[in-house]
Amino acid sequence: MIIGKRLKPGKIIMTLVLFIFGFLVLYPLLFMVVTSLKRNIDILTNPFGITSVHFKNYIVAWETGRIATYLWNSVKVTSITLGCQLVVISLAAYAIGKLKPWGYQIIFSLILMMMFVTTEMVTVPNYTTMRDLGMIGNHSSLIVWYTAAGLVMGTYVLTNFVRGLPKELDEAALIDGAGMFQILLKIDLPLVVPAMATIVIFNFNGIWSEFYWALITVNRFEHLKTLPLGLINFSSQFSSNYGVLTAGLCILTAPVVVVFLFFSKYFIANIAAGAVKG
């Protein structure tokens, strides 16, 4: 009769180390959530304990702090930007990784070189261009900038993934009379869902949390501010009310956590596939 397997000391130590690191990563998030549910007097007198649950902080943040307007602006800009990015990235990766037109290696090398171009290097010329086009003062200035900023890494990741897809599927579809876009939409795109989910996770976090370009282009227009930019005014307005301030931070953080949890299974599958291929 087998009672059970003995746990190896190395496995116990590894599990304990992972538990400690997991706790260190999650504790600031849990502390922020707990603080957002406390009255200001409780935060000052007992910052690490739970003495009461005060949901009014979220109501004040939503109504008085104009969080609803900032949140809608962020959702609008992020959704449109991600949609544009996925369309351009999927077409570019399919062209470079599968169709391989003349000079595709040069194009791919130029894409890799663009990774070394920092935001500060192109801020002035991009701002001047958008100002001349009349895009400053509306969300198009954010959408165009964010879309272009996320194309390089996304195209690089998806191109390498597309190159690893079996050619036999495309050849069989061509024999059956399928066209180029039919092969892309019905065969190749379903196979690269893990890679696209990885792109969504990273690009969503970058778009949702972006502050620098938004400060330059829409800071003068209160009704156009995104959530990170709006929270600057929010923090100055409620600088002494920590409960309401952390409630606003929780609203900013929640979509990032939700998106990661939703796409995490595809993200992990992509990492596992890369490990097996390596």
The domain that contains 255 carries what CATH number?
1.10.3720.10
Query: Is 103 domain-assigned?
Result: yes
pLDDT at res. 67: 82
Within-domain flag for 3: no
Structural domain contains residue 10? no
In a domain, residue 88? The reply is yes
Q: 216: how many CB neighbours lie within 10 A of its CB?
A: 16
Give me the number of domains the chain comprises: 1
> 188: closest CA among 123, 110, 275, 95?
95
How does pLDDT run along the chain (278 residues), one tens digit per residue?
Answer: 444 456 677 788 888 888 888 888 888 888 888 888 888 777 777 777 777 777 888 888 887 777 888 889 999 999 999 999 999 999 888 888 888 888 888 888 888 888 888 887 888 888 898 888 888 888 888 999 999 888 888 888 888 888 888 777 777 877 777 777 787 778 888 888 888 888 888 899 889 988 888 888 888 888 888 888 888 777 766 666 778 888 888 888 888 888 888 877 766 555 545 434 44
Domain membership of residue 6 (yes or no) is: no
d(CA 231, CA 229): 5
Residue 39 lies in a domain: no
In the numeric block, which tokens belong to residue 217?
């282009």
Q: Which domain holds residue 240?
A: 62-277
38 falls within a domain: no
Domain-located, residue 7: no
Kindly tell me the burial class for residue 53, based on how many C-beta atoms sit within 10 Å of its own C-beta (0-12, 13-18, 19 or more). exposed
